[in-house]
Amino acid sequence: MAFFENFTTAIRDKWLNYVQDNRAWLELQMNNVSVRTPDGGRRPSSLLILGVINAIEPKLSNLMVPFYKLNSDEDALVDVLGLNFDPEMVLDGKGEVGPTLDASAGDDPPLLEGLEGLE
């Protein structure tokens, strides 16, 4: 389970970096389409989140096929990946996303190490 926690923490951090770098257009997009989150906030659509995280972490596609075969509900996939939260609340320091693993500053944890043969 430590692998998956490390994996979802890394994905969450990359998602938050993306949101921070793209706040202006995401805010415009969310004025039209947004999803309520359990923390009382809102987030972009599940399809947008899944598309972005697959683009910023290409090795994620190795897991998306089996995940999607198990459950094709995009909202459930976002929830399993730990991304069903309001990123603005987290970035503004007004919300938390739950426990994270400690990582050294500046280190990107290796994702899906050893899965090179699955490509």
**pTM for the complete prediction?**
0.75
Percent of the residues in the chain that have a pLDDT greater than 70, as a whole number: 78
| Cβ partners under 8 Å of residue 76, min gap 6 | none
Angstrom distance (rounded) from CA 116 to CA 28? 38
State how far the Cα of 13 lies from the Cα of 52, in Å rounded to an integer. 13
**Tokens linked to 106:** 């500046």
Where residue 57 falls among pLDDT bands split at 50, 70, 90?
A: confident
What residue segments make up the domains of the chain, in order of their start? 2-91
Are the beta carbons of 82 and 97 closer than 8 angstroms? yes
- Supply the pLDDT for residue 47: 94
